[in-house]
Amino acid sequence: MQTLRHLLREFRALKISLSLKFVIGTAMVLTIAMSISTYLILEKDKNLVIEQLDMQAKTLFTQIVLTRRWIADHGGIFIEKVPWKKPNPYLSEPEVEDVSGRKYLKESPAMVTKELSEYAKKAGAYWFNITSLKLINPRNAPDEFEKTALIAFESDKIKESSVTVKIGPSYFYRYIAPLYIEAPCLKCHAHQGYKVGDVRGAISVSIPMDYAFSMIDSEKKTMLLTSAATISILMIVLFIMMKELVLRPVHQLKMSMKDFSKGAETEIPVTRTGDELEDLNRAFAGMSRSLREYHTDLENKIQSATKSLEEANARLMELNEKKSDFIAKISHELRTPLTSIKGAMDYITTKLTMLSGTHSGTDELQDFFDVIRNNADRLIRMVNDTLDIERIESGMFELEFSELDMLSLIKEVITGVQSITSRKKITFKVTSNPNISVYADEDRIRQVLINLISNAINYSPEESEIHISVTEAQEKLTISIKDEGPGIPAEVQKKIFDKFYTISKRHGTGLGLAICKGIIEAHHGGIDVASSGNVKGSTFYFTLPKRRQ
């Protein structure tokens, strides 16, 4: 069964047409079936021929036995003496003469049987032989087949025997059955010690099988030709039926599917076959009609939605432009008075410092003016950051690229924050190869470094170290800033580069890291943070392409 399934899978995978597969498969099945049927029929015919030969041999044996019995019952028969016929030497009175002087020879059943066998053999129809293990006439000596049968008959093992043998170029069916002593037989065989019922000998009948085999061969050829003609006619009929009833409708359905897949707007034709293929064709036609209607309806909805989206997008762009214009104007308007306020505060602070030794109460005024000045600085930073983030989001963020010595820029930024780090006793450790350059906007990268280093200083404890490293990998440059601060929780790391997001209320406007991200992404780089959250320290790092993208 597994072999048959494997053959079917291999046959199904052949790259040939369905009709050819069907015809070949059906031809194979019919050939196997017809071969088995022909073999069984021929075997049955052969058995029938053997049975017919067996019946014929038994009939001949019975006829011979009856003839012998008739002769024995009449004490033998007398035939007129002819010159070539000699008297039977095994009879006591083999020859008699009538009153007219005519001579007659006496024939025993055995002699009659022998002479009839010779006549039959000359005619070529069949022959028979009388034989025994206790011979009177040596000419009746048994052959091997007869001797074996006689021994079995005397031991009462079998009652008859038959065999198909080849003698010369021809086949013969040989049958042998025993002869039993009857009362008339004792006249000639009593002296041999036989009694009634004993096995005296046997008669074997040999019938030629050439004619039977020729009939079988003729039947075989006829059946093979008939089977081949039947298979051929059936294959032709099946092929025509397959082509007209299956392949043609399937081909039309295939072409309809191709036309539909190419976007044809014509109605799918239904091939009328009155069977399952017509149902399949109707189902496909209905499906294509539904899909076409759905596609048309979907296109109308998409056009309507697109139009609505275009209108909404235009409105949003208009509102965005107004918002950007408003932010730019209000930031400009705020920056001017804030700058004036800051300048005035600086002047007053200077004057108060000069008078602090001569007038009482100036120290308290100095504290108030410091608060006012710090808040003015914070407002100015917020206005500047707002303008920067607005330029980034609106795509108006312009960069001035030049070849930049990254190590020199880092040292410059560290020098600029030296006053803050000296108060907290924070030290820097810079790791970098010399002469590392990158093509970038110097002012904007400086702004990123100041922001990240300032954050590291703000969150670092006193007497700690900030490690800054610069590494090269292929065509990229990576700058990392590692502090010894409290660390950043994982849930905060995902939000830390969002606008207006701050870890605490103590530092910044919540725009610094968002601006850093915008600047780095404008350089086609990337920025991120690494921190376990529960272990001391965080590492902010950003990458820049060494060449302008």
136 burial level (CB within 10 Å; 0-12, 13-18, 19+): middle
pLDDT higher than 90, residue 466? yes
pLDDT top residue among 507 and 121: 121
Whether 44 is in a domain gets the answer: no
Amino acid sitting at position 507: H
Q: Which residues pair with 404 in a beta bridge?
A: 438
Question: Residue 131: is its pLDDT beyond 90?
Answer: no
Note whether residue 435 is domain-resident: yes
- Name the helix (H) or strand (E) containing 241: helix 210-242
Helix 18-73 / helix 2-12 crossing angle, nearest 10 deg? 140
Q: What pLDDT does 325 receive? A: 65
| Distance (Å, whole) CA 259 – CA 442 | 61
Which residue segment(s) compose the domain that 439 sits in? Answer: 398-545
Q: Reply yes or no on whether the pLDDT at 394 is more than 80.
A: no
The single residue listed with the structure tokens 């820049």 is 544
pTM: 0.41
Q: Which amino acid is at 306?
A: T
Position 366 in a domain: no
Is residue 480 domain-resident? yes
pLDDT of residue 337: 66
Residues β-bridged to residue 163: 174
The answer to the question of residue 83 being in a domain is: no
What integer pLDDT is reported at residue 333 of this predicted model?
59
What's the pLDDT tens digit per position in 183-211? 776 666 666 667 777 888 888 888 888 87
Flag whether pLDDT at 1 surpasses 60.
no
Q: Is the pLDDT of residue 259 over 90?
A: no
Q: Which helix (H) or strand (E) holds 131?
A: strand 127-131
Q: What per-residue confidence (pLDDT) applies to 428?
A: 92
Residues of 459-479 as b/e, b for ≥16 C-beta within 10 angstroms?
A: bbeeebebbbbbeeeeeebeb
What confidence tier does 468 reach under pLDDT thresholds 50, 70, 90? Answer: very high
**What HEC string does 52-89 produce?**
HHHHHHHHHHHHHHHHHHHHHHCCCEEEECCCCCCCCC
Could you write out the DSSP letters of every residue in 17-59? -HHHHHHHHHHHHHHHHHHHHHHHHHHHHHHHHHHHHHHHHHH
Q: Contact at 8 Å (CB) between 508 and 525?
A: no
CATH of the domain at 495: 3.30.565.10
- The answer to whether position 297 is within a domain reads no
Residue 533 domain-assigned (yes or no): yes
Q: Say if 388 falls within a structural domain.
A: no
Is it the case that residue 505 has pLDDT exceeding 60? no
Q: Which residue has the higher pLDDT, 125 or 45?
A: 45
- Name 204's bridge partners: 129, 176
User: For the chain, what is the domain count?
Assistant: 1
| Mean pLDDT, residues 18-31 | 76
